[in-house]
Structures are given as C-alpha cells and as structure tokens.
Amino acid sequence: MPCTYAEAYMLAETTTSSEWSVLEDPLSYLPCSTIGEYRKGQLIYESDRPNTNLYLVLEGCVKVTRMTNNVEVVMNLCQVDDLFGEPAFVQASGERAVALEPTKVMSWPIETVHEIVQRHPKLGIALMQTLAARCFDLEERIATLSADSTARRLAKALLGLSERLGQPETNSPDSRRLAPFSHKLLAQYIGTTREAVTHTMNQFRRQGLVSYSRRDVVVYTAAMRQWLGTHPKRAAAAAAGANTGTGMPMDSPANGGAMEYDSMQS
C-alpha cells in the first residue's frame, strides 16, 4: 500500500539532510528483468502509441527522438546504465527509441516499477533525481538555442557528449574519443541543418578542436573549452550584424546562415 502523509512525514523527520542530499541509484532497487537485443537501426518503441516500459541500456547506445513539424529532434542519446522510456509514467506518446548500434536493454513494465516504489520509496527518490538531472540537461540545451550561435551549440554538444559517452585517450589526457556520430544526428541534436554541422566541423578540425573519420570522433576537450571561453556569443554577433544593416547575427537565416530551428532538415 502507498504510504500515508503521516508516514511520509515521519520518514522525512527521521531522515537527515545529508541522507537526502546523496544521489540514489535506481539500479539498487530495480530487480533483474527481461532483456531484449536490438540490431543497429532497429526500433525499440514507436511514437504513435504510448510506451509501457522503463528501459535500461546494458550494451550499446540508444537514440530517443520526437517529431516536431515533421522534423526529427534528438532528445537524448543513452549509453550503458542510462534509463529511458520515462514518459510511460504518464502514459504519454510521441517519443521514439532506436538502437544506434547493436544494443541490449533491460525493461520493466511501468506497473511493476510502481509496485517496487511502494515497497522501496527510495526508488521513487532515485527516479525523481534522475529525471530532474535530465530536465536540467534539456533546459541547458533549450537555453543554447536562444543564446548561442550554431558553432557554440555544436561545441557544447560535443563537449557534453564526449564527457558522457566518450573514452579518454591514453596518450592525451585532454581528449576523448566518441563513436562516429553522423553530421545528420548532430544536427538533430542541436537544432540546425546537416550542412551547417559539416561546415562547422570542418572549421573545428582546421582549428585543432576535433579530428574525425568514419571510425570515430576525437574531441580535444581543453582546446574546445578554451575556444568557448574566447569565441563571441550571439549577442556580440548581433552587434556585428548591426553593421551590415540587417541588425541580425551573421549566422542568422536573414544573413544566409542556418541557425533557424525550423529550417532543420530530417
């Protein structure tokens, strides 16, 4: 049975602030369950009906997307030990999950998760912390859409993805190696066109910020952070755009750029 308000109050009274501040691990409370295997490009669940499971990536990588105005937008890239499928808690549809490489996932019916939370309330806290961290990440990405140029958005995305999904280079502590994400995927992740990503990646390579091939992408993290610290933000670009007589940033659609979200091609 769910705990009453009085029981919840007693739990709060007997739990110290330091205990609440510790991040709980949902995997400490979720039992082993059904494992599914998916080949590269295989659909895990579709957007036209509500997903009914919570998933955990055991091997591989999963792309979670939504369609907006007939444009596919990447909401998250999930690696080993990442949970996904949380819209199942509110029976929401519209989200799609696809394996980016050969992938294994464990899944729990959402009703089972509800039952476990009733027996182990700290699982509810753990899931709440996980979702709060994910919301914070999405808020950061939304903020960059309003405040940053395409180049800065891509630089921040590459840094974030390299920290989450990349492997450190043994001979270079200031670089991390990523899977060879396509320019189309990166464009869907930051809200721009594939052509804009290709152009910017070429610039980054010439400046020594990245190197890439069909096998991998290497992000030189220290150099990328330094570049972000010195590269002008959109506000400065807008001031420069005023000198062109348009009053628009140099990479805005009005000046032939590709920053406008609605122009993103699938």
Q: pLDDT category, 7, cuts 50, 70, 90?
A: very low
The amino acid at 264: M
Classify 83 as helix, strand or coil.
strand
| pLDDT at 82 exceeding the cut of 60 | yes
pLDDT beyond 50 at 145:
yes
Identify whether the C-beta of residue 227 lies closer than 8 Å to the C-beta of residue 209. Answer: yes
How far is CA 55 from its chain centroid?
16
Quote the pLDDT of residue 236.
39
Best CA proximity match to 195, nearest among 101, 260, 254: 260
CATH 2.60.40.10 fits 148-263, yes or no: no
Task: Determine whether domain 5-143 maps to CATH 3.40.50.2300.
Answer: no
- Sorted by where each begins, the domain ranges of the chain are 5-143, 148-263
> What are the pLDDT digits (tens) for 206-260?
999 999 988 899 999 999 999 999 765 543 343 334 333 433 343 443 333 433 3
Q: Predicted confidence band at 24 (pLDDT cuts at 50, 70, 90)?
A: confident
Task: Determine contact, residues 213/144, Cβ cutoff 8 Å.
Answer: no
Does this model's pTM top 0.85? My answer is no
pLDDT of residue 55: 98
Q: Which residues contact 254 (CB under 8 A, 6 or more apart)?
A: 246, 248
For the chain, strand residue ranges (E) read 34-38, 43-45, 53-59, 62-68, 71-78, 83-84, 95-99, 103-109, 167-169, 172-178, 210-212, 217-220
pLDDT at position 231 is 66
User: In the structure, what pLDDT confidence band is assigned to residue 95 with cuts at 50, 70 and 90?
Assistant: very high
Which of 89, 65, 91 has the alpha carbon at shortest distance from 76? Answer: 65
Minimum mean pLDDT range among 18-32, 93-107, 189-203 = 18-32
Q: Which one-letter DSSP state was computed for residue 251?
A: T
Is the model's pLDDT at 33 over the cut of 70? yes
Percent of the chain with pLDDT over 90: 63
pLDDT at 18 over 70: no
For position 173, what pLDDT does the model report? Answer: 81
Selected residue with higher pLDDT from 125 and 12: 125
Three-state secondary structure call for residue 54 = strand
